[in-house]
Amino acid sequence: MKSKYIPYSLLLLSATGLIACEDHRDSPNAPFPERIEFVAERQYPEGIAYSSQLAKFLVTSIPLGKIGTVATDGRYQDLLTDPGFIAGIGMKVAGDRVFVCNSDQGRSVRSTPATTRQLAELLVFNLNTRQLERRTDLDALLPEAEPNFANDVTLAPDGTAYVTDSFSPVIYKVTPNGAPSILLRDNVRFASMTFGLNGIVYHPNNFLIVANTGQGKLFKVDLANGNAVSEIIVANTSPVANSLPGDGLTLFNNDLYVVTGGNRVAQVRTADNWQTASVVKYDASGYVGATTSVAVNAQVYTLNARIGQTGNDQNFSIQRFR
């Protein structure tokens, strides 16, 4: 097994804190612009969240290992970092704490041969102190030879976090006090020759929905039924039937918003509790290397991260689903 970091002090999250979750539907900042342009040099921000405490969006950075804020008027400011924070990927906010996946695809200024494709952590920062409170090592749960990439995180009401790994076919579970385990491994449905598990959301009916990008499929993981896995058959997809290569997932008003292909967002709806579903709308205007979305102010906002580019871009944007 892989070596483990010395754990930070245990952090207990209350259910009350999680109810005031970062996917803030009733922000006092309404109305929000349809599109928010911001400048942040080499940010390439894969993850997005919203903090009602700060009244700002939060965005991660793949090459710079940090989290910054974006105000609705487009002002960007650095917010959080740590020497061990290599590349920020998926992120959620619960009250005054930020949960963010720390990984290394070899594209960060802090990348090393030891961490490239071998890092999967869940970091917890405190918004009040701006300090790292907990580092949970996930890659130590797998054999040394297996690659790792912690991609996205979702939170259950009791404070449990669930994290996807894009390079190994597993979903991790982290208890409210920081104890990690492998929730589920599926060498068939969670695997991919390219990029595997990606976006993940917790549904109030006590199941997870996860995207396998490489397979172009969505899967349901029934937490109340032995973590049973079933494919969600999605109709009305294009250009390929029954294929939806998902990146970020956002559940809002029981519809699932799936960022797909980097250039559009699909609104997906079910009539049978996510056994099957259908795309009811594609928004495909203005997206540039889009990664994931956040529900805020009764709208869905998607991050244009210019993902896949490795230059010196500084112009990014956040836009509303239309």
Residue 254, number of CB atoms within 10 A of its CB: 12
Amino acid 98: pLDDT: 98
**How far apart, in whole angstroms, are the C-alpha atoms of residue 316 and residue 36?**
9
- Is there a cis peptide before residue 31, judged by omega within 30 degrees of 0? yes
14-23 mean pLDDT: 38
Q: Would you mind telling me the total number of residues written for the chain in this entry? A: 322
pLDDT band at 309 (very low <50, low <70, confident <90, very high): confident
**Tokens encoding 261:** 């292909």
End-to-end C-alpha distance for the chain, whole angstroms = 47
Q: How far apart are CA 111 and CA 117, in angstroms?
A: 10
Mean pLDDT for 36-48 is 96
Tens-digit pLDDT profile for residues 185-216 = 999 999 999 999 999 999 999 999 999 999 99
Does position 222 have pLDDT exceeding 60, yes or no?
yes
| Pairing, β 148-155 against β 118-126 | parallel
* Residue percentage of the chain with pLDDT more than 70: 90
Three-class SS of residue 300? Answer: strand
C-alpha 60/C-alpha 73 separation (Å) is 18
Are 172 and 211 spatial neighbours (Cβ–Cβ below 8 Å)? no
pLDDT tens, residue by residue, 245-280:
999 999 999 999 999 999 999 999 999 999 999 999
Say if pTM beats, i.e. exceeds, 0.85: yes
Q: Please give the average per-residue pLDDT across 138-163, as a whole number.
A: 97
How far is 76 from 235, CA to CA, in rounded Å? 39
At 314 the three-state DSSP class reads coil
Q: Which residues contact 135 (CB under 8 A, 6 or more apart)?
A: 5, 7, 8, 84, 102, 121, 122, 123, 124
Is residue 141 over pLDDT 70? yes
Which pLDDT score, from 0 to 100, does residue 5 have? Answer: 40
For residues 8 and 144, which has the higher predicted lDDT (pLDDT)? 144
Peptide bond connecting 239 to the previous residue in cis, omega within 30 degrees of 0: yes
Separation of alpha carbons 19 and 63, rounded Å:
32
Model confidence over 43-85: pLDDT tens digits?
999 999 999 999 999 999 999 999 999 999 999 999 999 999 9
CB-based contacts of 204: which residues, under 8 Å, 6+ apart?
Answer: none
What sign results for the dihedral spanned by CA atoms 159, 57, 77, 166?
Answer: positive
